[in-house]
Structure 1
Amino acid sequence: MTGFNDQVIEEFRRTKGNLGGRFEGWQLILLTTTGAKSGKRRTNPLGYLEIDGKTVVVASNMGSPSHPGWYHNIRRDHRVTIETGAETYEAIAAVPSAAERDALFARIVAEERGFADYQAKTSREMPVVVLHRIDDRVRGMGDFLVEVHDWLREELKTLRAGVDEIVAGRAESLGIAKPLRAHCVSFCDALTKHHTGEDMGAFPMLAQRFPALAPTLTRLGEDHVVVATLQKRIRELVEGYVHGESDPVLLRDDFDELAGKLEAHFAHEERTVVTALNVTAPG
């Protein structure tokens, strides 16, 4: 099939998607993925459907007993390139949940009966894949996550300023100690709630839809455990701080360690999951 695909790809690009012969009138795109084993870019011509404004493809492999190579590729790296003939754009490939897959496949078969014939030829369930265009104008859950991070960053700055006053010995005269304790409790509660929401909701959803993200999400979850230990220590130091008895430098050093780990965690999370969150659940 490689030689045949190469001919189709060449004609598709030359005619800007207006194929003739057996493909005349077909809705085709070129899907370029990164090889799961080779790491090389691979391009395949695929039939597609537009369902509720989304580009949907089926890993039919013409009813063969095994999934096509491009499907294995998107499970390792969900970043893909789409060519329509009129334009080329970047996208990410999502694997719907079982219920979503069944609903989509029913609509696909209603429009293109050939996919039902392919499914009848094989015992494997043919996967359905949704291709989400990456668009900087989209706002969604990912942008909300960044906003939460920015709020937490500002709260950290406020807490750090209070710690600095304690180290400088001005906390008692300025009446800072009590408000700092309350602020610390509020911050820790908000951070715990944020991370719990990710661990229980956002991360499992992303891992299901974007299998390639699974190792990253595991690491982020491990970061949450480390951060929880640090914030518990900070909270204990702040709540138990006694002027003239406790070591303010220890408090500052532990706080800086927490702040550094949090900033690295926030930055890594924003680099790796914001786009996936935005296209999965746009606001």
Structure 2
Amino acid sequence: MTGFNDQVIEEFRQGKGGMSEGWQLILLTTTGAKTGKRRTNPLGYIEIDGKTVVVASNMGAPAHPGWYHNIRRDHRVTIETGTETYEAIASIPPAAERDALFAKVVAAEPGFAEYQAKATRELPVVILHRIDDRVRGLGDFLVEVHDWLREELKTLRAGLEDIVAGRADTLFMEKSLKAHCVSFCEALTKHHTGEDMGAFPMLAQRFPALAPVLTKLGEDHVVVADLQKRIRELVEGYVHGESDPVRLRDEFDALAGTLEAHFAHEERTVVAALNVTSPG
């Protein structure tokens, strides 16, 4: 098939038609799961409810096509339509959504029913989401939450510095700091619990390539929780004239540094995927 595909790709890029035996085509470029090299495949696609959908049919062969294994390792792909080229993210819908989509695929292109009948495996359905910076989604909301938590960290840090420097009313500052610390820790715990119970499982299901990243982020949550606990104990047990404010500030700086590294890594790795999907 390699020679045939190369010919189709060449003709497609020369503008000699986006149809092959009645199929409307796109060129899908993925990153090889084993080689790391870019691979391009011509694929028939269907537009369903505004989504670009492809099926890993391999014409009913026993094994999944190579491009499907590639997107399970790296979900970032490039799409060529004949009139434009754009970056996209390939997602694998959960079972119920997959079945509903496949029924619509078959209604539009009955040939896929024949491929499924021929195959000894369930044909995967894949949604190709255009990455569009103009569209806001769950990823942008995540960044907004992070930015709010960053500002709270700055406020707490400023309060600690005032206590260390002996500025303002120390007893009032200590009381205010303790209240602020409780509020911040509860907000951060709620945020991370929501990710662990909701966003991360959803992403792992739809984007298998993110599994190692999500595991690392979950491990970060455990580290942050331990730091939070230590900071909260120090703040709530702080006694003016007896406790060491410098130690408290230094412990807090360690938490802030760990959190910022965690936020930055999370934003680099999952925001794009969150923006093209939803928990429903």
TM-score for the superposition, normalised by structure 2: 0.97
The 3-state SS of whatever aligns with 2:54 is strand
Q: 1:32 and 1:120 mapped to 2: Cα distance? A: 28
Instruction: Give the direction of change, closer, same or farther, for the CA distance of 1:212–1:16 in structure 2 (3 Å limit).
Output: farther
Match of 1:162 in 2: 159
Alpha-carbon displacement from aligned partner over 1:109-163 (angstroms, at most 9, x marks no partner): 1111100000011110000000000000010110000000000000000000010
Would the alpha carbon gap of residues 16 and 205 (structure 1) be closer, same or farther in structure 2, given more than 3 Å must change?
Answer: farther
5 Å-filtered alignment, 1:40-79, equals: 40-79=37-76
Give identity over the alignment, percent: 85
Q: 2:93–2:127: 8 Å Cα contact kept in structure 1? A: yes
**Residue 33 (structure 1) aligns with:** 30
Deviations, residues 229-276 of structure 1 (Å, cap 9, x unaligned): 001111111111001100111101100000000000000000100010
Q: Does 1:149 align with 2:135?
A: no
* 1:227 and 2:230 aligned: no
Give the equivalent residue in structure 2 for 1:140: 137
Give, as a single letter, the amino acid of the residue that structure 1 aligns with 2:59: M
Moved more, 167-176 or 214-223: 167-176
Q: Which residue of 2 aligns with 1:81?
A: 78
Over 3 Å counting, the alpha-carbon distance change for 1:228 and 1:173 in structure 2 is closer
Aligned counterpart, 1:103: 100
1:14 partner amino acid:
Q
Q: How many residues are matched? A: 280
How big is the alpha-carbon RMSD for the aligned residues of Structure 1 and Structure 2? 1.4
CA–CA distance in structure 1, aligned partners of residues 21 and 227 of structure 2: 63
* Kept after mapping to 1: 8 A contact 2:18/2:24: no
Do the aligned residues in 1 keep the contact of 2:29 with 2:77 (CA within 8 Å)?
A: yes
Q: Which residue of structure 1 aligns with residue 121 of structure 2?
A: 124
AA paired with 1:39? G
Question: Structure 1 residue 114 and structure 2 residue 111: aligned?
Answer: yes
Matches within 5 A, 1:182-261: 182-261=179-258
Letter in 1 for 2:56: A
Q: Distance in 2 between matches of 1:188 and 1:107?
A: 46
1:81–1:154 Cα change, 3 Å:
same
User: SS in structure 1 opposite 2:254?
Assistant: helix
Whole-Å Cα distance in 2 between the matches of residues 211 and 16 of structure 1?
36
Superposition map of 1:253-272 within 5 A: 253-272=250-269
Pair 44,176 (structure 1): closer, same or farther in 2 beyond 3 Å: same
Whether the aligned pair in 1 keeps the contact of 2:53 and 2:127 (CA below 8 Å) is yes
Deviation at 1:171, TM superposition (A): 5.7
Shift of 1:18: 3.9
